[in-house]
Structure 1
Amino acid sequence: MLIEKKIQEILYKYKKILIAYSGGIDSTVLLYNLFKLRDKYPLLLRAIHINHNLNYKSNFWMEKCFLQCKKWNISFIYKNINIKCKNSIEQSARKKRYQIFKNIIYKNEILVTAHHLDDQCENFFLFLKRGSGPKGLSGISRIKIFDNLILFRPLLKISKKQIINYAIQKKLKWIEDPSNKNTKYDRNFLRNIILPKITNRWPFFKNSVIRSIKNYKEQEELLTELINPILIKLIQKDNSLFIKPLYNFNIIKRNFIIRKWIEYNKYCYLPSRKILLMIWNEIVCCKNNNNSQIKIGTYIIRKYKNYLYCIKYFPNLQNNILLWNNVKVPLILPNKLGKLIVLNTNLNYKKESIYIRKPKNNEIIYVKFNISEKYFFKNKNNINSIWEKLSIPKWKREQIPLLFYNNILIAELENKLITKEGTATLFKKDNFFIFWNKIY
């Protein structure tokens, strides 16, 4: 058995295992070890094969993986993905793979991948190329938890040479993907050209890299431990960062705090020094009220008053007008905002809904977002003044549905604000409840 006893016990503890199975030598050795381990422990094994559709043989490879799992009596799942992005194929493929893993993982099941010692060394060089600090250079972890997914790498201390020797010894069959030889990909360039030359001159080099990774990991853990008491005070319940004290810190300390805060928000790709400088100069220190923002991947960093926010990016809805021709049918809102429902007499969500008058026969009902016009409510307060008093940041205002009859504002549905024109009449049959179901 290639998997050491301590790792076997960890796998047994979880019992339910989903294996990322490409059919290559690494994942085949891992699958075989888990298959043998099942004789010793009552494990529930499932294998998932992702067909990237990048090679004309990809369907043939999928079939071979299926037959291998059938032979070993392992439940087999396969999924197809298509990668349109030509510039960052590896990153796009990885993102799509992990989205699939999250969608099919069972409760209390762990995802197991075949990352090994040589992968760890390659990752070190890739992060070094990006100019990473201790966090990036501390390598990949054996166990990682993110987005409710537990990722476990049982072979992380096993070298590629050991894996190859083991596969030959056990007479295993695996798929050879020719793209692994294509050096236009950074990882393959390191694997096939750079690292063999280095290890040929310095055979001990990989072990030295692993020691450096351990040192960086310890440094990162120590820095995190020292900064955590400050970070706990600065991070708010809504995950925003209170930035006022940062003005008194030196650039090294404040950069580390901002980076750890972004990491706390579960953003996968940590910002570079350049991005951190932009966050400080263009957002934190921005004096005018132009709502500056910096987009990092699918997230944006913005400031409101004395707080910094890391929020999911959604397109601006300012020009969106959603006609609601039939109120008996729920109105689906964009940007995953949910749907609007007109409730009947069975008022299960009465407390969460808003009570307004029904539209007249000649009135068209529709929803708008992010309006620039001034609209007033019963207390004669302007809608933007109300939002300001409620401390609602601009980007949240942009996602609040506003209900109109013809060109007349009837209600703001987030805070249940009703205009004079939308106020329910004395006759109940002329009124109704609207419920905003945000889970959609």
Structure 2
Amino acid sequence: MDLFSSFEQQLKQTTAQHYLIALSGGLDSTVLLTLFAKLLQIQPHFYLRAIHIHHGLSPNADSWVEHCQSLCAQYEIPLIIEKVQIDYRNGIEAGAREARYQAIQQHIQPNEILATAHHLNDQTETFFLALKRGSGLQGLGAIQKQSELFGMKIFRPLLSFTREQLERYARTENLTWIFDESNDDTRYERNFLRNEILPKLRERWTHFDHAVQRAAQHCFEQQQLINELLQKTFLDHCQTPTEFQLHNFNQYSSPKQTALLRMWFSLNQWEMPSKRQLEQLINDVIFAKKEANPQFHLGKQIVRRYQSCLYLTADFADLTGICLEMQDDHILLPDNLGELYLQRTPQHFIFSWQQFSVELPLTDLPIQIRFNYSGKIKHHPKRPREEIKKIWQELGVPPWQRSRIPLIFYGVQLQSAVGFFKVFEHSEK
């Protein structure tokens, strides 16, 4: 079966009709775009768009944009151009990939599937990179033709074809494509494999890529089986995606513990920790002293433990020194906490934040919003004044969330933690 016929058959299996095509302008994505364009001629019910990510890494990046614009204009396919800024902290390759998918997330529509031009050679390279990192079944598992990443459905219809097959098709169709000069730079790990190592293996073993694909698929299926066998236990621990209950966790074997944690990370589509990182997480966070509130940094995210539960959170900004004056009927809170609204009635001020609201007496004092307080308060009319730390504990509020809840002050006196408690007297006796 030729390339186009195979492509057409695969699209029949997806039943989807709306596709966003990732277009770099290189050989692989150019072939993918033209296959979609050819399909559109005989099946006009498909709705296609393309997106090109301008990373700004090459002096030729602007000319690549022009090439993609010309290509899409030729086939009358709408094109999105998105310039991105790369975070280099985890390396240029990882940073470019993260920026690329974040940009695509902003544009993809709910009914669209992202189509990428991954092919069989990419599969081999990815397998070897995972092998180099010492990955287990999860990392060695095959790239699938259909999967989900960052909440987006992804379709890879060229995965069973080699790059050589794509190049033959492109030359037969008289296609033109751009060449990224960075592909020759073997300082990058993928390029080193592609240019220095894998050609020798393919020369020795002609069907090497297909053998690697089978091995990767075996790893994927074994991981799926493990997940299936552990599913009931996993659901006992994880009823909310970003929380993992630790009851009975110490009774499991070490392999079972790490397998359950990997399922948790996979569910949240977060960076998969290495074996060493998982061991550190288990020893230093899960089995830390009961009174501790340990945490573990993983990329831009943090795993935290509180009251026999793990939480996945962002690396929040420190808001303890923030003090905002409320001079209008609403105020924008820092660090993506949303807005706090103020409504005046004849008897009260009503403060609203997220799904919470609180009624407070009217005042002529300055109204301030803070995120930090220490000392004793009276939060219930029939109870004595108590340390605010104890109140937070009774309410089950994790320590890192306590400094992210807006505290309303009239002058220097705390009035309320919105959604959690009101203060009934302000005497410092």
* Aligned counterpart, 2:191: 188
The one-letter code of the counterpart of 1:337 is L
How far did residue 281 of structure 1 move?
A: 1.0
Matched ranges for 1:74-93 at <5 A? 74-83=77-86, 85=88, 88-93=91-96
Establish whether residue 162 from structure 1 lines up as the match of residue 180 from structure 2: no
Structure 1 distance, partners of 2:128, 2:414, is 58
* Aligned counterpart, 2:302: 300
Structure 1 distance, partners of 2:189, 2:295, is 31
Establish whether residue 327 from structure 1 lines up as the match of residue 328 from structure 2: yes
2:153 match: secondary structure: strand
Matched ranges for 1:92-131 at <5 A? 92-131=95-134
**Mapped contact 1:241–1:309 kept (Cα < 8 A):** yes
1:62 match: secondary structure: helix
How far did residue 349 of structure 1 move?
A: 7.2
Q: CA 1:52–1:132 in structure 2 vs 1: closer, same or farther (change >3 Å)?
A: same
**Mapped contact 1:402–1:411 kept (Cα < 8 A):** yes
Structure 2 distance, partners of 1:238, 1:222, is 21
1:149-207 alpha-carbon deviations (Å, 9 max, x no partner)? 11111101111010011001111011011111111111111111110011112222212
Structure 1 distance, partners of 2:315, 2:9, is 42
2:109 match: secondary structure: coil
1:411 to 367, 391, 416: 416
**Mapped contact 1:322–1:367 kept (Cα < 8 A):** yes
1:89-129 alpha-carbon deviations (Å, 9 max, x no partner)? 11111111111111111121111010100000000011111
Greater Cα offset, 200-209 or 102-111: 200-209
Structure 2 distance, partners of 1:50, 1:407, is 50
2:42 match: secondary structure: coil
Structure 1 distance, partners of 2:240, 2:93, is 36
Gaps of 5+ in 1: 423-440
1:2-36 alpha-carbon deviations (Å, 9 max, x no partner)? 2414312145x211111010110000000000000
Structure 2 distance, partners of 1:25, 1:54, is 19
Greater Cα offset, 338-347 or 178-187: 338-347
* Aligned counterpart, 1:150: 153
Structure 1 distance, partners of 2:164, 2:235, is 45
Establish whether residue 245 from structure 1 lines up as the match of residue 248 from structure 2: yes
* Aligned counterpart, 1:393: 398
* Aligned counterpart, 1:309: 311
Structure 2 distance, partners of 1:249, 1:378, is 43
Identity of aligned residues (%): 35
Structure 2 distance, partners of 1:175, 1:39, is 25
**Mapped contact 1:411–1:419 kept (Cα < 8 A):** no
Q: What TM-score results when the alignment is normalised by the length of structure 2? A: 0.92
Greater Cα offset, 87-96 or 156-165: 87-96
Q: Give aligned pairs, total.
A: 416
**Mapped contact 1:8–1:37 kept (Cα < 8 A):** no
Gaps of 5+ in 2: none
**Mapped contact 2:378–2:423 kept (Cα < 8 A):** no
Q: What TM-score results when the alignment is normalised by the length of structure 1? A: 0.89
Structure 1 distance, partners of 2:87, 2:272, is 24
Q: CA 1:387–1:64 in structure 2 vs 1: closer, same or farther (change >3 Å)?
A: same
1:366 to 361, 365, 368: 368
How far did residue 83 of structure 1 move?
A: 2.6
* Aligned counterpart, 1:353: 357
The one-letter code of the counterpart of 2:74 is K
Establish whether residue 38 from structure 1 lines up as the match of residue 40 from structure 2: yes
**Mapped contact 1:402–1:413 kept (Cα < 8 A):** yes
Establish whether residue 54 from structure 1 lines up as the match of residue 50 from structure 2: no
How far did residue 344 of structure 1 move?
A: 4.5
1:369-401 alpha-carbon deviations (Å, 9 max, x no partner)? 143333332433433222211211111212111
* Aligned counterpart, 2:3: 2
How far did residue 255 of structure 1 move?
A: 1.1
Structure 2 distance, partners of 1:288, 1:229, is 27
Structure 2 distance, partners of 1:22, 1:66, is 11
Q: CA 1:416–1:275 in structure 2 vs 1: closer, same or farther (change >3 Å)?
A: same
1:241 match: secondary structure: strand
Q: CA 1:155–1:311 in structure 2 vs 1: closer, same or farther (change >3 Å)?
A: same
* Aligned counterpart, 1:429: none
2:273 to 261, 271, 274: 271
Deviant stretches of 4+, over 6 Å? 346-351
Structure 1 distance, partners of 2:387, 2:351, is 32
1:353 match: secondary structure: strand
How far did residue 353 of structure 1 move?
A: 2.1
The one-letter code of the counterpart of 1:408 is Q
**Mapped contact 1:138–1:213 kept (Cα < 8 A):** yes
The one-letter code of the counterpart of 1:334 is P
1:236 match: secondary structure: coil
How far did residue 348 of structure 1 move?
A: 12
